[in-house]
Amino acid sequence: MKCVIGGAHLRVFGRAIHAIARISDEFWFDPLEKGLALRSVNSSRSAYAYVFFSSMFFQHYCWTALPQPRQKEKQLSPPCKVIIKSVLPVFRCVNVLERNVEKCSIYTNINDHHITFQLLCKHGVVKTYNLTFQECDPLQAVFAKHMCPNVLKVHSRLLADIVIHFPTSQEEVTLSVTPMKVCFKSYTEEDTDFSKTMLTEVQLNPDEFDYFQVGVDSEVTFCLKELRGLLAFSEATSVPVSIHFDISGKPVAFSIEDLVLEASFILATLSDIEKETTSQQPPSFTPWQESLETHTEKAGNASMDKDSSTQANASKKPQRNGKTPSAEPAKPASPLVKQERKVIPGATEGDTTGVEGTTTAHAALAGESHYEKFHSLFFGAVSCKEDAVSHTFHSLATASDSEEDFGNVPSSPVV
């Protein structure tokens, strides 16, 4: 694969790399027929970033490697996994980059597993960065954006103006929508120490959005840190940001799209149940997907609060003060709390997911960091034969999901 990025687009490409860097330490460089895809997943599988640059973005784009003398066919470029830290220095000062660099060439050498970034700068200076990569099939999140009942579209400037009110140490933020208003607020949980935490809330009118569709009232909580990267990237492109989401527990997708590029950051959201209990959940726990109506009933909450508050002091939750989440699992919830949860009426919407599936999901999550509260997205491996550019995402799935909701997929739990 070889491609050349012209001066003006360098800034955009650099910002994309920086945005991806916020997700994970490594990313996939995935050359496709129609363009170049960059993908990244974070360690707890709760955030996925995908940026696709079509061949028109580049001054020159060649997907296939040049044929070697002995080979008769052109070699396809396999996707490569690259360490972000190695690539970041290439695009370090993005703004300065634009001024000093005329163009950037990227080419992969499959035989010796090298990817080379060559910056042709002013005054004849050429900077070459040779990095190694691992050949590796990337993961791709499957997420049915078009199935989301709630869609907001807004210029990235607005989102940046909202996010700026939250301290950089604020890890999670809750987006709460009704047809009448939109609100971004600091995430709090039952045992938040209110006497020590400053809480911020930004209320907006639906008028401020370029497109506003709220099918279901919901409150989704996601990681702000991961979003900030996308915001910086979208500001460089000045393309509006679309937010697709559903009820809590289902992922939220932030995406931008224009003629030459598109990007999606899919973030897992906290499900309501896990907001109140600890992360290590015993197998007899109730289904993870609780309907919103049940949870927002104040009465229901109040009775749960009494019991969980006694536990709140006992359990050691990691502090939300910007430090890395501790890997220590918190103490299990009291049996009384568990029992109350089971009383949730089975007729709640979307609550048809298999309990057995939940067991697998939670058992798998046990022992990880506090981000395990976020459900992992379902990942499928992407082979290079697949036309991954077609964006008919498959339906959303987690390990516990039976995918009945989306109609056209078999109902056995997918692991």
**Which positions touch other proteins (CB under 8 A)?**
164-165, 167, 194-208
Min dist. Cβ of residue 308 to other proteins (A): 15
Q: How many CB atoms lie within 10 A of CB 80?
A: 23
Tokens of residue 239, six digits: 């393309």
Min dist. Cβ of residue 218 to other proteins (A): 21
Which is closer to other proteins, CB of 102 or CB of 201? 201
Which is closer to other proteins, CB of 201 or CB of 386? 201
Min dist. Cβ of residue 377 to other proteins (A): 31
The CA–CA distances, whole Å, from 208 to 41, 151, 334 equal 32, 14, 44
Torsions phi, psi for 27 (to 5 deg): -145, 165
Min dist. Cβ of residue 116 to other proteins (A): 43
Closest CA to 146 of 380, 400, 391: 391
Which is closer to other proteins, CB of 202 or CB of 384? 202
The enclosing H or E element of 139 equals: strand 139-141
Task: Label the pairing between strands 47-54 and 172-177.
Answer: unpaired
Closest CA to 23 of 190, 246, 262, 263: 263
Give dist(CA 7, CA 9) in Å, integer.
Answer: 6
Min dist. Cβ of residue 318 to other proteins (A): 20
Which is closer to other proteins, CB of 116 or CB of 192? 192
Which is closer to other proteins, CB of 177 or CB of 361? 177
Which is closer to other proteins, CB of 118 or CB of 197? 197
Q: What does the buried/exposed string (b/e) look like for 324-352 if buried means 16 or more CB atoms within 10 Å of the residue's CB? A: ebeeebbebbbeebbebbeebeeebebbe
Which is closer to other proteins, CB of 202 or CB of 336? 202
Task: Label the pairing between strands 60-62 and 241-245.
Answer: unpaired
Q: How many CB atoms lie within 10 A of CB 253?
A: 23
Tokens of residue 60, six digits: 């020159």
Residue 295 CA, distance from chain mean position: 25
Min dist. Cβ of residue 169 to other proteins (A): 10
Min dist. Cβ of residue 201 to other proteins (A): 5
Which is closer to other proteins, CB of 54 or CB of 156? 156
Give dist(CA 184, CA 200) in Å, integer.
Answer: 8
Which DSSP string corresponds to 94-131?
HHHHHHHEEEEEEEEETTTTEEEEEEEEGGG-EEEEEE
The CA–CA distances, whole Å, from 333 to 273, 292, 314 equal 12, 21, 10
Do residues 79 and 137 lie in contact, with contact meaning Cβ atoms separated by under 8 Å?
yes
Which is closer to other proteins, CB of 23 or CB of 312? 312
What are 245's strand-pairing partners? Answer: 150
Min dist. Cβ of residue 297 to other proteins (A): 20
Which is closer to other proteins, CB of 205 or CB of 296? 205
Give dist(CA 30, CA 41) in Å, integer.
Answer: 14
Min dist. Cβ of residue 202 to other proteins (A): 5
Give dist(CA 359, CA 229) in Å, integer.
Answer: 33
Min dist. Cβ of residue 212 to other proteins (A): 11
Min dist. Cβ of residue 292 to other proteins (A): 23
Which is closer to other proteins, CB of 166 or CB of 371? 166
Residues near 161 by Cβ (< 8 Å), separated by ≥ 6? none
